[in-house]
């Protein structure tokens, strides 16, 4: 069990709660906060927002394309709902580092998990769109539109990686707490 350091041990004779329980929880919260901040959520949040704005800009360019048929990813409005989700989760990641509270970390974890699912879905749609634009019924699409679609696919994959990494650090800080050990000892009463 390398890497799992046990930070607290409370021995409780008779099942009564120790007086230092709040101090132990406060110390554990400080460690969990440091774990979350190791992931640099502010930097990753800014990168999420920047990629989302680039994706949204490329999507608007592709939606206004009148030269060829719309690509599948554009027809499903992937360039709109994906970036909106990434902007929201990136903003929440920034807020979670600026004011690190447990509720903000859990909210960031939740939204980044949803964003990773959204980016995985957008990536799958992007793969299908790129493949069909090269070898399918939409082969008459303009080469620039196909290139923009491929670029959006790469950006969606990058968004997936960022959302998963922020979610991993948020999970380590909030729900995957394996460093607490509580030992309850029964009272030693001798019955005659």
The proportion of the chain whose per-residue pLDDT surpasses 90, expressed as a percent, equals 17
- Average of pLDDT values for 16-31? 55
pLDDT of 6 higher than 60: no
72 neighbors 130 (Cβ within 8 angstroms): no
Task: Match 């990773």 to its residue by tokens.
Answer: 116
Among 44-58, 74-88, 92-106, 169-183, the range with the most confident prediction by mean pLDDT is: 44-58
- Average of pLDDT values for 94-108? 83
pLDDT of 171 higher than 50: yes
The answer to pTM > 0.75 is no
Q: What is the DSSP code string of 116-157?
A: HHHHHHHHHHHHHHHHHHHHSTTTTS-HHHHHHHHHHHHHHH
Tokens encoding 174: 């909030």
Q: Which residues contact 99 (CB under 8 A, 6 or more apart)?
A: none
Residue 108 confidence (pLDDT): 83
Neighbours of 177 (CB within 10 A): 15
**Choice between 100 and 46, residue whose per-residue pLDDT is larger:** 46
- Average of pLDDT values for 129-154? 78
Tokens encoding 56: 């949204």
The phi and psi torsions of 9 (rounded to 5 degrees) equal: -145, 120
């Amino acid at each position: 069990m390398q890497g799992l350091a046990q930070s607290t041990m409370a021995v409780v004779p008779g099942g009564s709660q120790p007086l230092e329980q709040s101090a132990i929880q406060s110390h554990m919260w400080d460690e969990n906060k440091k774990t979350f901040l190791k992931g640099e959520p502010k930097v990753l949040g800014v990168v999420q927002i920047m990629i989302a704005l680039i994706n949204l800009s490329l999507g608007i360019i592709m939606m206004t394309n009148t030269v060829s048929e719309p690509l599948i990813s554009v027809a499903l409005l992937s360039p709109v709902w994906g970036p909106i989700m990434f902007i929201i989760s990136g903003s929440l990641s920034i807020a979670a580092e600026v004011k690190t509270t447990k509720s903000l970390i859990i909210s960031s974890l939740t939204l980044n998990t949803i964003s990773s699912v959204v980016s995985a879905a957008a990536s799958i749609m992007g793969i299908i769109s790129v493949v069909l634009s090269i070898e399918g019924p939409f082969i008459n699409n303009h080469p620039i539109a196909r290139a923009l679609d491929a670029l959006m696919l790469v950006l969606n994959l990058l968004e997936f990686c960022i959302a998963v990494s922020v979610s991993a650090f948020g999970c380590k800080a909030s729900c995957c707490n394996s460093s607490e050990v509580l030992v309850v000892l029964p009272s030693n009463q001798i019955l005659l």
